[in-house]
Amino acid sequence: SHFHPNYNFWYFGIVWEFTNILSFWLTSLLAVFYCVKVSFFSHPIFLWLKWRIVRLVPRLLLGSLLISCVSIIFSATSYYINIQFISMKLFARNSTMLERLEAFLWDFSTLQKVVVLVIPFLLFLASTVLLMALLSRHLKQMKDLHTGHSNSSLEAHSAALRSLAIFLTLFTFYFLTVLLSILDVLFNKESWFWAWEAIIYALVSIHSTLLMLSSAKLK
């Protein structure tokens, strides 16, 4: 869209939006799965979820795909209607009503995109912060007692905390970057913004892959 400002970029925008939504939901599910498998609570609901989480993974993946598809159908419809509005304004005598409808549709489409991204981000945030709090408390207890725990166990907990901290930081930057793009806060996006997007996307993808490959359960 930066180099070819015409309607063709809208089709690319639909694909870009679909991959972003799917990435958000898959990353959030990874965080929830990681939290459930690593942490421990005595609550019956949590114990049931811990026992069933592996069997629920295919359904959760399918649900993420369906949510992304439904969301992109709304977005594609909004894109198409916007194109029609632009064409109609060229021939309409009074385009005030069309401009109001176009503004309403744009606001509704933007709100829908934000909601679809905010929900998985909140799931990711809650799971990651909860797991980091539990690991920090457990690590502190291990250091205070330091009996019956080897250095390898302490190092494993410390490595998990570092990995989660990196995960949280990268995904938060990812969320803010996509949010800025959707809300169009930076009206004149310079080259640094496109480079920033590419770097964030690459880091999130690489780190998620390394996180999964580092654990047999996540594999």
* Sign of the alpha-carbon dihedral angle for 55, 61, 64, 70: negative
Q: Over the chain, what is the mean pLDDT?
A: 78
CA 177 – CA 179 distance, rounded (Å): 5
Question: What mean pLDDT comes out for the span 135-148?
Answer: 74
Q: Give tens-digit pLDDT for 82-110.
A: 767 666 666 655 567 767 777 777 777 77
| DSSP string of 145-195, one letter each residue | H-SS--HHHHHHHHHHHHHHHHHHHHHHHHHHHHHHHHHT-SSS--HHHHH
Residues above pLDDT 70, as percent of the chain: 79
Per-residue pLDDT, averaged over 65-74, amounts to: 88
Instruction: Determine the pLDDT at residue 146.
Output: 64
In the chain the first and final C-alpha atoms are separated, in Å, by 37
What is the model's pTM?
Answer: 0.75
Give the start-to-end residue ranges of the domains of the chain: 7-188
Res 148 pLDDT > 60: no
